[in-house]
A and B are shown apart, each in its own frame.
Chain A
Amino acid sequence: MTTPAGLLLVLAVLLPFTGVLLGLVLGGRHAQRVAWVTILLGIGIVLAITRVLLNSGASLVYLLGGWAPPLGVALRADGLSVCMMLVVALVVGAVGVYANGDFGTPAGQSEARAPLAFWLLLLAVWGSLNLVFVSGDIFTLYVALELLTFAGVPLVALDGRAETLQAALRYLVYALLGSMFYLLGTFLLYGAYGTLDIALLAARVGSQPVTWMAAALMTAGLLAKTALFPLHLWLPPAHAGAPAAASALLSALVIKGAWFLVVRLWVDVFAGIVTLPAAQLLAALGASAIIVGNIVALRQARLKLLIAYSTVAQIGYLFLMFPLVQALNAMRLDTAAAVTGGVLQAISHATAKAAMFMAAGLIYSTLGHDRMADLRGAGRALPMTITAFALAGASLIGLPPSGGFLAKWLLLSAAIATAQWWWVLVMLVGGLLTSAYVFMVVVRAMAPAAPGWSPKKQVPGYQQAAVLGLALCSFLLGLAALLPVDMAQIGRTVAPLVGSP
């Protein structure tokens, strides 16, 4: 049944898409204005959804066209969805402020390519992600993933250099193969159970070969899209080659769409089907990503590539939650800590990584390059930005009171409760490696500049403020532990406990 205020979910998806349509027709400078009106309204809608969720303590549901599943399509938002929608709204807002500096239409031109494309794609990414978070139908989710691909790929090649075109093409090939596998899994599930609705599927799926195959295909496809090791090769050139604001969107948000879907499938749909060894395989890939990504990050000669490899590593943390959830489930313990830990990791990485990429963009503008060997003077010219980089780094490392700290704390305690101490070890080693490269960047940036050096370009204060604001959010996110309710768990009545054997 449609719940009161369920219409807000439709608005959260449609508003950004309507913004794209309007921006395309009006063009030029107007596209940027349309984007800003949409961002402000969109943030309002997400806050309203949050309020309804907290007040009612239950999921929001909307039946599109009044048709109930299995015939119709339902939109649903539980605590997980709303947490993700909140962080996406926050990051989109901050990236929007930052992009005002880089993507204004030049004076004397009625319309320029990159600014128009950027503002339209920003809204496109936002609407697609909101759709991923609220869609209750696995085929609509396929369309949402494709929307996200078409919005993400051009962001990579926005400045038109040949190597970014190549990176975009490689990204597209991975993403398309991923969607095809996901789609095949969707069809198989329909063939076996006659529904595409997540809630109905969760009630109907049984442990049988077709289900395993569908789960394997969908998971493999989504892993390619989210760039989990060893399917990560497309990510570093794509994320490092894009303009800073676009890198922030891609690294902080776009990859989380496919990851969120893995969580939906493993925790909600296939809860009783996936086994502990399968979940451990997923986490083992995550652990390899953490180690490999961090070590390769340490050896990068350019700051943006370092940050991109750090994303490869941080994606790994996002997959450590699966064996923990599975094991807690098997022991008939509450899985809340592991699920909340995983979501919190996604949220703190989104805010921290967006801040880091934008900080790197400011450093690039100021120094005229981003070579690791010569970051001297950046600290003097951009004190706020280097502070932001350090705070975001602290969140990635997991220092208190950051969001990263709380996330890792929840995951660590779940690992200890289920006696899976090896994940604890991986997390600690990963934290040490992360602190090494964050420290390296900050120390080099603090070195005094060569005598007579002056910044290549003065960056506007509001860009620095946007970066610092986002980094502060990430750093203070750990205080969420003081909140009276665990928002991520609201509406999660399809408790995985029912599914386990």
Chain B
Amino acid sequence: MNAPTLFGLCAAVLVGLGLYGLIVHPQPLRKVLSFNLIGSGVFLVCAVIARRGAAAGVGGDPVPQALLITAIVVAFAASALAVALMLRQCDETGSNSLSSDPGPAPAKPPADGEA
């Protein structure tokens, strides 16, 4: 079995692991971690497709590689937004959860500039 195929199978497992984590973990931060795992699996599939398309003297098809750079940058922005949302939720309620029950009442708003 050649290298691209091996990495392709690895990518499939990564997506599966990430999907499992995304479903079972109640904490949003763990969901974001799992989302990033799924993302890396999806990106790896794309890199495999690029590698398989090696031709004309280049080691990989440059079109999917360029798409990949775009997708990695977009995924970072998505993670940053998710993290900002959960930190704000934590500031407001003192809890960090996605379940519908309201978390425990906030003890007190966090002090400004707390390190």
Contacts and interface: CB of A to CB of B under 8 A. Distances in A.
Interface in A182-207: 183-184, 187-188, 190-191, 194
A139 interface: yes
A160 B89 CA distance: 9
B19 to A, nearest CB: 8
Interface residue SS majority, chain A = helix
A476 interface: no
Interface string B39-80: 100100110110011000000000110010011001001100
B98 A187 contact: no
A177 interface: yes
Interface residues of A, number: 32
A146 B74 contact: yes
The secondary-structure label for the interface of chain B is: helix
Interface string A136-170: 00010011001001100100010011110110111
A177 B74 CA distance: 13
A161 B91 CA distance: 11
Contact of B42 (A162, A163, A187): A187
Contacts of A161: 92
Interface in A166-183: 166, 168-170, 172-173, 176-177, 179-180, 183
B53 to A, nearest CB: 8
Given A183-B71, A187-B45, A172 B81 contact: yes
Contacts of B35: 173, 176-177, 180
B63 to A, nearest CB: 8
A184 B81 CA distance: 22
Count chain B CB atoms within 10 A of each CB in A71, A160, A161, A180 and give the residue with the most: A180
A139 B71 CA distance: 10
Interface size class, chain B: 20 to 34
A332 to B, nearest CB: 37
Interface in B88-105: 88-89, 92-93, 97-98, 100, 102
Contacts of A176: 35, 78, 82
Contact of A139 (B15, B67, B89): B67
Nearest to B82: A172
A454 B8 CA distance: 68
Given A176-B35, A184-B15, A187-B45, A169 B98 contact: yes
Nearest to B85: A169
Nearest to B31: A173
B35 to A, nearest CB: 6
Contacts of A153: 81, 85
Contacts of B39: 180
A180 B14 CA distance: 13
List 4 A-B pairs, minimum CB-CB distance, nearest first: A191-B49, A162-B92, A165-B89, A187-B46
Given A169-B85, A169-B86, A188-B45, 13 more contacts: A150-B81, A162-B89, A162-B92, A170-B98, A172-B85, A173-B28, A176-B35, A177-B22, A180-B39, A183-B42, A183-B71, A187-B64, A194-B53
Interface of A: 71, 139, 142-143, 146, 149-150, 153, 157, 160-163, 165-166, 168-170, 172-173, 176-177, 179-180, 183-184, 187-188, 190-191, 194, 237
28 contacts: A143-B70, A150-B81, A153-B81, A153-B85, A157-B85, A157-B88, A160-B92, A162-B92, A165-B89, A165-B92, A166-B89, A169-B82, A169-B86, A169-B98, A172-B81, A172-B82, A173-B22, A179-B78, A180-B39, A183-B42, A184-B42, A187-B49, A187-B64, A190-B49, A190-B63, A190-B64, A190-B67, A191-B49
